[in-house]
Amino acid sequence: MKIKSLILKKFKKFKINEIEKFSVDIHDRIQIIIGTNGSGKTSLLQELFPYSPNKSVFDKGGYKKLIIEKNGSIYELKYEYNKSKNEHSFKKD
């Protein structure tokens, strides 16, 4: 499995740094994450796992979108946290 990209919107762990939306496209085998203590480095790494995140780490209207590649297929996992309901989607290719 290879992580291709990650998008986080209204992720509470980044709120302290006033980051509304975070996005990263991963092209290399090695990535370096730099930040001060409490800036959300570990929380970011936890969001790279392809399972449903804990909705308490997102503000209303927030979402997580993770794109991964496995065995030549592309998978898109999206989790949205809206006021009325939480929506999750899974797409292949």
> What tens digit of pLDDT does each residue of 50-87 get?
888 888 889 989 999 999 999 999 999 999 988 677 78
Is pLDDT of 90 > 80?
Answer: yes
- Tokens 């796992």 — which residue? 49
Average pLDDT over residues 15-41: 88
- Tokens 């592309």 — which residue? 74
pTM: 0.86
58 with 10: CB under 8 angstroms? yes
Is pLDDT of 37 > 80?
Answer: yes
Is pLDDT of 92 > 80?
Answer: yes
